[in-house]
Structure 1
Amino acid sequence: MSAPTTTRADHSAMTHREIMEALSGLLLVLFAAMASSTIVSTALPKIIGDLNGSQTQYTWVVTATLLTATATTPIWGKLSDLFSKKLLVQLSIVIFVLGSLIAGFTQNTEQLIAARAFQGIGMGGVQALVQVAIAAMIPPRERGRYNGYLGGVMALATVGGPLLGGLIVDSDWLGWRWCFFIGAPFAVIALIVLQKTLHLPVMRRENVKIDWMGASLIAAGVSVILVWVSFVDDSFAWISWETLAMVGAGAILLALAVWVESRVSEPVVPLPIVRQRTTALAILGSLAVGMAMFGGSVFLGQYFQIGRGYSPTQAGLLMIPMMIGILVSSTIAGRMITKSGKIKPYIVAGTIVLVVGFAGLATLDHDTPLWYVGIAMALVGIGVGMSMQNLVLAVQNTVALKDIGAASSTVAFFRSLGGTIGVSVLGAVLARQVSESMTEQMTAAGMPAGSSNSGISALNLSSLPEAVQHMVRVAYGDATGHIFMISAAVAVIGVVAAVAMKPAMLRSTVDVGAAPEKEPALAAK
């Protein structure tokens, strides 16, 4: 049964109980989608080790999901402005469930990367459409309070995910495949709940045109650049014909995408919205936060397991400070924003704390005291919690309801793009640092580089000689600080963007056209 067509006036009058009933299903599927990523974050060293994969493949298991989620996010958002939001949410859930099941049955890293790429299509839809549905139900001024619930669920997924992933991997009767299977039942339950509770207006429009060309060009351009990042300085030099070909091709594809988006009637990334000051600055901030959110969870889990020698379960427990930081800061900031109607101070404070946290993580090595690591992670979590959702809210506050899907998904697109680029770049830097460190250590020990692992993955520590295991731990432990130094530098861009945003009071209506005359000017033109 599709979502009923209702008037905007009727829809804006939803009671708190009706909103909470619909929100329960939305938050449940968001939890399943986010947990599917965070569960893997602590399990991935074990998974790639068992499949005998490389550090580059480790990175691409994450990057493939983020890439397809990034590429499809603006498409889902645009579709939500044209068709039934409820039907699209349900479709994205089905794709996510199928992708999860396929990933659980894969037999090698190549199959796993492909399955995760398919799963990412559903994840991109879930993450974008949950934001869109909430924006269609709740006025921006009240959304701060509900964003507290949203932040809480996201924090629960990020807190519980790594721990649950560790427990599953360490279990004698489950195994790592259940890291993928376990999200499916939650998503199916959410599908049933939403069928009964989610009722959003359907804006039916004639002669609908989807910008498949623009979406394809964006996905292709980003993919080429990320493939180049993964292999440059390893398979080929920075200055080489391969670099020229790949960077040139990526730049041309993205330039063509901008050209197409400026001319089609229904662009997936509406340039007029992107050109607005608030949206443009929120995009810059989201790129930095995306790198923080994804880079932190992916490489900290690897740091604790490979660099420090902890089990997956212990690694999940050690990551709790960052997740608690997200939970506490997002909940408190959300309620304070609803009370005051002001959002900029919290985004500025969050991005500053994010830089401080990354600067702390930039000093990590294989002997760093755990209390110090915990404090730095907590600061990163606080920064993410105060800024991530509020950057989306700042943009939603400036656009009409008819554009809420495109606007929300555009910010989500660039946040996911930041995460995709961040994981790919940081993973490539980590791989280079580890390779150089291993070569130096083995040369110093009088061992020919690469002679003692006989083709065994460096992530499969239990199959390596004890002396080599120690070298791998030192290499990964010391290299992690370098990648977070890059993250700290990028996060500074988020601070600059947040400071440059225009202060604005959050409106108290769902649509800008419904605002009373005495309402202050809210949109940043």
Structure 2
Amino acid sequence: MSDPKKTGGGTAAVADRPAGIPETPQRSVRVVMLALMITMLLAMLDNLIVGTAMPTIVGDLGGLEHLSWVVTAYTLATAASTPIWGKLGDMYGRKGIFLTSIVIFLIGSVLSGMAQDMGQLIGFRAVQGLGAGGLMVGVMAIIGDLVPPRERGKYQGMMAGVMAVAMIGGPLVGGTITDHLGWRWSFYINLPLGAVALAMVTIVLHLPKRKGTQAEVDYLGAGLLTLGITAIVLVTTWGGTEYDWNSAVIMELIAIGVASLVGFVFVETKAAEPIIPLHIFRNRNFTLMSVVGFMSGFVMFGAVLFLPLYQQSVQGASATNSGLLLLPMLLSMIVVSLVAGRVTTSTGKYKIFPVVGSALMVTGLFLLSRMDVDTTRFTSGVYMAVLGAGMGFLMQITMLVAQNSVEMKDMGVASSATTLFRTLGSSFGVAIMGALFTGRVQDEMVARGGGAATAKSAQLDAASLAKLPEAAREAYQFAVSSGTHIAFLVGASVGLIALAASVFVKEVPLRGAGPVTQQAEAV
């Protein structure tokens, strides 16, 4: 019998490699991972860069009344197509479907950059979002195919780093491109990155070709799921902003969403190849990780929205460096994610991480809810670091446990379902925390007589804020700090649900066990 120590870690990959998937040399895996990280960067950077360019876009194309649809169309298309991309990858082969999603994303980017009016831009952003729905799912599913769960922790820090680079660099890159090259290049910038990713994936990634299944795609299920997701995203996007929460439009959307999802569940029980096989939810760990993913998405995107707003409005920070304001949270997230990944790889243990991560997330949000007009930047930075540590424990562990809980044939739908729950969580988080924030700001402004500044001025930067009369400025700063208090307090309450779910996770051995276990099994 060969000495497992001489295998250099490759044994784990072979032990759990499904039939038909060849062993991939470690060097090739690293090259493929580089291509996948570039693709992740494409998906994460887009909205951040475009968001910075939006004022210039509106000034050039007009159509201010349709501004929100530039983001909404992209978000809707991404969320609705996510589970479909995952299922198509399972049915027809991961590589071809992934390359197709990249090409569609790049086509949407080119068309968006060529848009001549706001209507065209909204339509082309939907095309771009359609491709984006397959980017993250493809990345996660391909990693699931290539790297056993036990070995995947080695790459967690890389994925956390990509997220941090996107959040910090997105606004800075977007502002620089818009100022020096014009807003159209905020879309064209995707082309060189996408071309590199396409070339590297095409040349280096080798996965077995799958024969198309004889069963037809579950078109009815896909349609019902798309309709349900669309209704949910529109409710969270429009509720409290475009329409009152109790308005007829919101009530109708809620009814459509509920009816569609109930119909979807019924159809999935009958379909030969369901878009999301319901049997994966019979696995306790998968269901619990879906809950944790939803709650962490709820919290994280709410924090990313309100922390820069608080630091700009209350602490007087510059809006230009808004990405840098999140540095304590992002650095903490990267370091913790890297450590958690290494420990998971070396020990195979992971249950402690979602429990500790959820607890730190709740603690960090509670601390952030205590910020007021006198809180220093150092203190808020410490609070953000606590929250970042919690997110670092949770960010990749949720996907890791979810993928480890399903068979290899369901890797795509497991990845897409987990991504979808996190996306929907972010939509709910931004909507609910945003509504509570706006309501509290309005109430405090009325109570303190700050009539010179309204809730609409919640987007004031430090320079504009300085032009307000002193009384109005102080009232506004107090109102914003009060608004962030209630928003983060709600986030902490939601985090308790994630903590409760994490406690019930069962420690199931990760596929790709260590050499000693493999040797015993072989004997």
Which of the five TM-score ranges fits, normalised by the shorter chain? 0.7 to 0.9
In the alignment, which of 120, 133, 147 is matched to residue 124 of structure 1?
133
Give 1:197 deviation, angstroms: 0.6
Give 1:156 deviation, angstroms: 2.9
2:81 pairs with 1:72: yes
Residue 191 of structure 1 corresponds to which residue in structure 2? 198
Residue 502 of structure 2 corresponds to which residue in structure 1? 498
2:43 pairs with 1:33: yes
Query: Higher mean Cα deviation, 153-162 or 71-80?
Result: 153-162
Give 1:96 deviation, angstroms: 1.9
In the alignment, which of 467, 487, 498 is matched to residue 483 of structure 1?
487
* Alignment: residue pair count: 499
Q: Does the Cα contact within 8 Å between 1:343 and 1:505 map onto a contact in 2?
A: no
| Corresponding letter in the other structure for 1:334 | G
Q: Does the Cα contact within 8 Å between 1:30 and 1:126 map onto a contact in 2?
A: yes
Give 1:120 deviation, angstroms: 2.3
Query: Higher mean Cα deviation, 75-84 or 138-147?
Result: 138-147
2:107 pairs with 1:98: yes
In the alignment, which of 294, 310, 322 is matched to residue 287 of structure 1?
294
Q: CA offsets per residue over residues 172-223 of structure 1, 9 Å max, x none?
A: 4245554443333212211111111111122213324222322222232233
Residue 303 of structure 2 corresponds to which residue in structure 1? 296
Q: CA offsets per residue over residues 217-253 of structure 1, 9 Å max, x none?
A: 2232233234334444566655565554332222112
In the alignment, which of 426, 436, 446 is matched to residue 429 of structure 1?
436
Q: Does the Cα contact within 8 Å between 1:152 and 1:330 map onto a contact in 2?
A: no
TM-score computed with the length of structure 1 as normaliser = 0.83
Q: Does the Cα contact within 8 Å between 1:69 and 1:416 map onto a contact in 2?
A: no
Q: CA offsets per residue over residues 450-501 of structure 1, 9 Å max, x none?
A: 9xx9xxx874768899338947666545423322222221121111111111
Distance 1:53 1:431 in 2: 25
Distance 1:412 1:387 in 2: 13
- Relative to structure 1, the CA distance from residue 225 to residue 190 in structure 2 (aligned partners, 3 Å threshold; closer, same or farther) is closer
Give 1:119 deviation, angstroms: 2.5
The CA RMSD over aligned residues, in Å, is 3.6
SS of residue paired to 1:518? helix
Q: Does the Cα contact within 8 Å between 2:157 and 2:337 map onto a contact in 1?
A: yes
2:140 pairs with 1:139: no
Q: Does the Cα contact within 8 Å between 1:347 and 1:498 map onto a contact in 2?
A: yes
- Relative to structure 1, the CA distance from residue 51 to residue 448 in structure 2 (aligned partners, 3 Å threshold; closer, same or farther) is farther
| Corresponding letter in the other structure for 1:518 | E
| Corresponding letter in the other structure for 1:320 | L
- Relative to structure 1, the CA distance from residue 25 to residue 244 in structure 2 (aligned partners, 3 Å threshold; closer, same or farther) is closer
Give 1:404 deviation, angstroms: 1.1
Give 1:341 deviation, angstroms: 0.5
Query: Higher mean Cα deviation, 396-405 or 92-101?
Result: 92-101
Q: How does 1:9-408 map to 2 (within 5 A)?
A: 9=19, 11-40=21-50, 62-104=71-113, 114-165=123-174, 167-168=176-177, 172-174=179-181, 177-232=184-239, 238-239=245-246, 241-305=248-312, 308-365=315-372, 367-408=374-415
Residue 466 of structure 1 corresponds to which residue in structure 2? 467
| Corresponding letter in the other structure for 1:311 | S
Q: % of aligned pairs identical?
A: 37
- Relative to structure 1, the CA distance from residue 104 to residue 398 in structure 2 (aligned partners, 3 Å threshold; closer, same or farther) is same
In the alignment, which of 395, 398, 418 is matched to residue 411 of structure 1?
418
Query: Higher mean Cα deviation, 65-74 or 475-484?
Result: 475-484
SS of residue paired to 2:275? coil
Q: Does the Cα contact within 8 Å between 1:166 and 1:314 map onto a contact in 2?
A: no
TM-score computed with the length of structure 2 as normaliser = 0.83
Give 1:40 deviation, angstroms: 4.9
* Structure 2 unpaired stretches of 5+: 1-16
| Corresponding letter in the other structure for 1:127 | M
Query: Higher mean Cα deviation, 499-508 or 177-186?
Result: 177-186
Q: Does the Cα contact within 8 Å between 2:233 and 2:424 map onto a contact in 1?
A: no
Give 1:284 deviation, angstroms: 0.3
Give 1:350 deviation, angstroms: 1.3
Give 1:146 deviation, angstroms: 2.6
Residue 3 of structure 2 corresponds to which residue in structure 1? none
| Corresponding letter in the other structure for 1:80 | G
| Corresponding letter in the other structure for 2:44 | M
Query: Higher mean Cα deviation, 207-216 or 102-111?
Result: 102-111
Distance 1:265 1:92 in 2: 25
Q: Does the Cα contact within 8 Å between 2:268 and 2:278 map onto a contact in 1?
A: yes
* Structure 1 unpaired stretches of 5+: 1-6, 520-525
Give 1:334 deviation, angstroms: 0.7
Give 1:132 deviation, angstroms: 0.6
SS of residue paired to 1:192? helix
| Corresponding letter in the other structure for 2:488 | F
Q: CA offsets per residue over residues 254-297 of structure 1, 9 Å max, x none?
A: 11111112221111111100221111101000001112332233
- Relative to structure 1, the CA distance from residue 175 to residue 371 in structure 2 (aligned partners, 3 Å threshold; closer, same or farther) is farther
Distance 1:32 1:459 in 2: 27
